[in-house]
A and B are shown apart, each in its own frame.
Chain A
């Protein structure tokens, strides 16, 4: 197990450097000149532009810029934006909001979709099974902004149960509604996978053995079938958590939540390379760590993975 984890950690480090380098190149080698753009319609004098370029290291070759950036990262310094603000501070004010939102949304996905998948899987072919399938597909087919705005209107304005903008009300009041809207989009995939995995596992021979041993349906499903069926679902859920953390832009915009999604969106618009790279780097890091945790969790769930 220790060997497995250390091998995965090594892989994680390699992937981290590879991906951040690609992102760095993609941001800074793309056409468009952030320094020239700083001046707006009236271009800055050549000498000022030159000075700014050398201050931000933009005149250095790309690999050297990247190494300088890594050096900063090692000291916990994400760099500064072209307007002189610290990237680290900017993110520090945004990440907690996004993490709260993403984790709330993700927990709702887990709860609802596992429950739906379980219900549909244990009664597959029934009316309940078919309505779960149909319901989740319908919910997923409505564009997220339509659903978001409808929810704001009905739950927020007509019923007055939840605020429709900002996070001033704090967790959970301000987060539940947007999180629920996000969760709806994970439901179809996860609950269907859960259902399929459950149905497949219920057909395995060992379920028959367990019943022949005199185990009750509860023992069989609750312990054996669930653990066997969990592996693929856990994997999908992890990928979802990763993409939730970076991909709540639309919902953040609709509910006027100052999260990382908004920050990233604005940074790209303003050609704030350092900020884009900073957000991307933290995202990559979170993604890799969740994946590692999931792989370790799957290997705990299924011993066959440990020995490959």
Chain B
């Protein structure tokens, strides 16, 4: 094999604290990237994968102390001065980021931002050449109407389009290596599919090597050649993608792969009985704004029986979250009915509305945002009991302890605050609060998508056991079909504000009737390199 393009050798990064104390974020990391290769660095949050990527470009904050060697060709980037680094950044090593909107300056047109990097690295190009080149680049990342689009501002683009612009910017100077930090995490699965395909095509066309930072084993299986598994700042193992999925050697990798939810549509008994907990009939939600109105949900109907878990799946903007909001009275219902446990939820006023809220528990995606940072966990969990039932003192303490037991947290945690908890623990608290009033219906809006896979799997286990025990009906809103497969009894698929298909879980997953559902299923990356390769070949044939 020829010499590596990029070689990290015993890289160590410490973050100095205010009082001289330090945290070691990366500890003796070594790996290599060869020409035209896609190397994935995987790990959960806090594993040091992003810090590793940032140190390659010298983009760490000032309080970082870096040791070891990072060699690009014959040059050591760690000892290089700022001027040299500026000539490497964007020219030889380019980077794309997780949040495409955040990555673009909101006040300049995207054309300007692409031309800017050309001006920096190819000052000899004339303004006209730059303009033409920028439009060619936008066309190369398959942005429609590149000429017109180049005059758009970032906020006028969709997430997928914005990420294409970021990629165009990264490819502008024909870099040897592209560092992609969770490039598709903020995108819908079908858009993720398109972006990953685009990256693969770029690699083929330009021979660009890609260093892909991700937590998603499905994405790894789909595009990577080699994989570096990181945990707590160390490399657990480095393997080719086939070997990693077939014979993971490190115990941690084995555990990680086990906790990735898989879509297998296994047979499972349902707890549903025939009394309906939630009935939506022909529900339409419109947001009015001055002279125009936006239809968020158009004529949606669905039912959730007591004890049943119904998954509402769809991509962003499909209206799935709006349905959850409409049920809790947070979205303007234009027509149609919502009946929760026999009560009309659309026209409920005052007392009735309060009664209704007791029947519904809600868990949101971001547990940090859902918990009051100035309240202890006991106060948060106890709030519904205080407000709705007037429970106080010893009785309240007893019930919050019971709830903490139920979600698997020690009773002593009741005096802690949200910032003292991890993401998974916070979500457990949010679930405990949602269940405090024994709700008939639980609405869970992407409750695990902000969590690491290993944490996600424990929260899902908890969720399943609680549901079996308490028999609540649940509307589970999610974009992740594998998660849905592990929980739901029935699946409702939404697209463009409408329900496009609904049915039993296995029917939808194994034998979808609608094109859209099929596309959604095919786009979801499966943690199996063989399956992904087969799918890719099939797509390329078409």
Q: Judge whether A227 and B169 touch: CB under 8 Å.
A: no
Nearest neighbor of B89 in chain A, beta-carbon distance: A214
Measured between C-beta atoms, what is the minimum distance from A188 to chain B in Å? 27
The contact of A214 among B97, B106, B117, by CB within 8 Å, is B117
Min C-beta distance of B246 to chain A, whole Å: 35
Query: Cβ of B91: which chain A residues have Cβ within 8 Å of it?
Result: 214
B281 to chain A, nearest CB (A): 35
- A219 to B, closest residue via Cβ: B120
> In the complex, what's the smallest C-beta–C-beta distance from B10 to chain A, in angstroms?
24
Instruction: Please judge, given known A-B contacts A228-B105, A302-B106, A303-B107, whether A211 and B59 are in contact too, CB under 8 Å.
Output: yes
Identify which of residues 148-192 in chain B touch chain A, using a CB-to-CB cut-off of 8 Å: 153, 155-156, 166, 169
Q: Report if A301 contacts B (CB, 8 A).
A: yes
- Asked whether B97 lies within 8 Å of A209 as measured between CB atoms, the reply is yes
Interface majority SS (helix, strand, loop, mixed), chain A: helix
> How does the 8 Å CB contact mask read for A42-83 relative to B, with 1 for contact and 0 for none?
000000000000000000000000000000000000000000
Task: Write out, one digit per residue, whether chain A residues 288-308 have a CB within 8 A of any chain B CB (1) or not (0).
Answer: 000000000000011110010
- Indicate whether A173 reaches chain B with its CB closer than 8 angstroms: no
Closest partner residue, chain B, to A206 (CB atom): B105
Nearest residue, chain B, Cβ from A302 = B107
Tell me whether A212 and B106 are in contact (CB under 8 A). no
Would you call A204 an interface residue if the criterion is a C-beta within 8 Å of the partner chain's C-beta atoms? yes
Q: Known interface pairs A214-B91, A303-B107. Does A204 touch B102 (Cβ–Cβ under 8 Å)?
A: yes
Decide: A211 near B89, CB < 8 A? Known: A205-B102, A206-B103, A224-B108: yes
**B120 touching A213, Cβ below 8 Å:** yes
CB closest residue in chain B, given A303: B153
Once the chains bind, are B59 and A212 in contact (CB under 8 Å)?
yes
* Total interface residues in chain B, CB < 8 Å: 28
Give bound CA distance, A205 to B121, whole Å.
22
B 78-118 binary contact with A (CB < 8 Å = 1; else 0): 00000000111111001101010011111110000000110
| Residues on B with beta carbons closer than 8 Å to the beta carbon of A304 | 106-107, 153, 155
Given contacts A303-B153, A304-B155, contact A214 B107 (CB under 8 A): no
Number of interface residues of A (CB under 8 A): 21
* Cα–Cα distance between A208 and B100 once the two chains are bound (Å): 12
Give every chain B residue within 8 A of A214 (Cβ-Cβ): 86-91, 117, 120-121
Which of chain B's residues has its CB closest to A224's CB?
B105
A203-244 near B? 1/0 per residue, CB < 8 Å: 011101111111110010000100110000000000000000
Closest-CB distance, A163 to chain B (whole angstroms): 45
Q: Chain A: which residue is nearest B94 at the CB level? A: A212
Q: B residues 24-47 with Cβ under 8 Å of A?
A: none
Bound-complex Cα distance A228 to B89 (A)? 23
Question: Chain B residue with minimal CB distance to A216?
Answer: B86
Interfacial chain A residues near B212, Cβ < 8 Å: none
Chain A min CB distance to B235 (Å): 24
CB <8 Å contact, A213 and B104: no
Complex CA gap A307/B153 in Å reads: 11
Contacts of A209 in B (CB 8 A): 95, 97, 103-105, 166, 169
Say whether, besides A205-B97, A303-B153, A213 and B117 are in contact (CB < 8 Å).
yes
Which of A210, A211, A216 contacts B105 (CB under 8 A)? A210
Which A residues lie within 8 Å of B104 (CB)? 206, 209
* Residue among B89, B106, B153 making CB contact with A206, cutoff 8 Å: B106
Which residues of B lie under 8 Å from residue A224 when comparing CB positions?
A: 105, 107-108
Which chain A residues lie closer than 8 Å to B59 at the CB level?
Answer: 208, 211-212
Smallest Cβ distance from A93 to chain B, in angstroms? 44
Taking CB atoms, residues of chain A closer than 8 Å to B155 are: 303-304, 307
Q: Chain A contacts of B99 at CB under 8 A?
A: 205
Subset of 5 A-B contacts with CB under 8 Å: A209-B95, A209-B103, A214-B117, A303-B106, A304-B107
Chain A residues with a Cβ under 8 A of chain B:
204-206, 208-216, 219, 224, 227-228, 301-304, 307
Apart from A206-B105, A215-B86, A224-B105: 8 A-B pairs, beta carbons within 8 A: A208-B97, A209-B104, A209-B166, A214-B88, A216-B86, A302-B107, A303-B153, A304-B107
Chain B residues engaging chain A, CB cutoff 8 angstroms: 57, 59, 86-91, 94-95, 97, 99, 102-108, 116-117, 120-121, 153, 155-156, 166, 169
